Amino acid sequence: MEIKQHGSSDYPFQYYYDNLELFDFHCIEWHWHREFEFLYVESGQVTCGIGEKQIILSEGEAIFINSKILHRFYASSGGIIPNFVCMPEFIAPENSLIYKKYILPIISSNIYFQRFQPDELWQTKIIQTMIKIMEIQRNEKIKELATLALLQDLWLTFYENVKLSDKGDVQTVDEVAQKRVQLIMQYIHENYNRNLSLDEIASHIGISKSTALNLFHRFLHTTPVNYLIGYRLQAASWLLKNTNKKVKTIAYESGFHNVDYFCRLFKKRYHLTPSEYRCTCLKVLSADPSLQTCK
Task: Say which CATH superfamily domain 13-169 falls into.
Answer: Regulatory protein AraC (2.60.120.280)
Residue 292 has pLDDT above 50, yes or no: no
Residue 223 has pLDDT above 90, yes or no: yes
Residue 188 has pLDDT above 90, yes or no: yes
pLDDT score, position 206: 92
Is residue 172 a contact partner of residue 112, using CB atoms and an 8 Å limit?
A: yes
Q: Rounded to an integer, what distance in angstroms lies between the CA atom of residue 18 and that of residue 35?
A: 17
Q: pLDDT of 91-129, one tens digit each?
A: 999 999 999 999 999 999 889 999 999 999 999 999 999
Q: Rounded to an integer, what distance in angstroms lies between the CA atom of residue 260 and that of residue 266?
A: 10
> b/e string for 241-274 if b means 16 or more Cβ within 10 A?
beeeeebeebbeebbbeebeebbebbeebbebeb
pLDDT score, position 288: 55
pLDDT score, position 293: 39
Report how far apart, in Å, the C-alpha atoms of 253 and of each of 116, 172, 227, 237, 266 are: 42, 38, 17, 12, 14
pLDDT score, position 167: 43
pLDDT score, position 168: 41
Q: What percent of the chain has pLDDT over 90?
A: 78
Confidence band (pLDDT; 50, 70, 90) for 164? confident
pLDDT score, position 4: 73
What is the pLDDT of the chain when averaged over all its residues? 90
Confidence band (pLDDT; 50, 70, 90) for 24? confident
pLDDT score, position 2: 64
Residue 103 DSSP one-character state: I
What is the average per-residue pLDDT within 11-15?
97
Task: Give the contacts of 83 (CB within 8 A, at least 6 positions apart).
Answer: 15, 16, 18, 37, 38, 39, 40
**In the chain, domain spans:** 13-169, 175-289
What is the average per-residue pLDDT within 75-87?
94
Confidence band (pLDDT; 50, 70, 90) for 166? very low
Q: Closest Cα to residue 134, out of 95, 197, 90, 81?
A: 81
What is the average per-residue pLDDT within 178-198?
91
Q: Rounded to an integer, what distance in angstroms lies between the CA atom of residue 162 and that of residue 4?
A: 30
Same fold, 13-169 and 175-289: no
pLDDT score, position 121: 97
Residue 285 has pLDDT above 70, yes or no: no
- Better-predicted residue by pLDDT, 261 or 179: 261
Architecture of domain 175-289: Orthogonal Bundle (1.10)
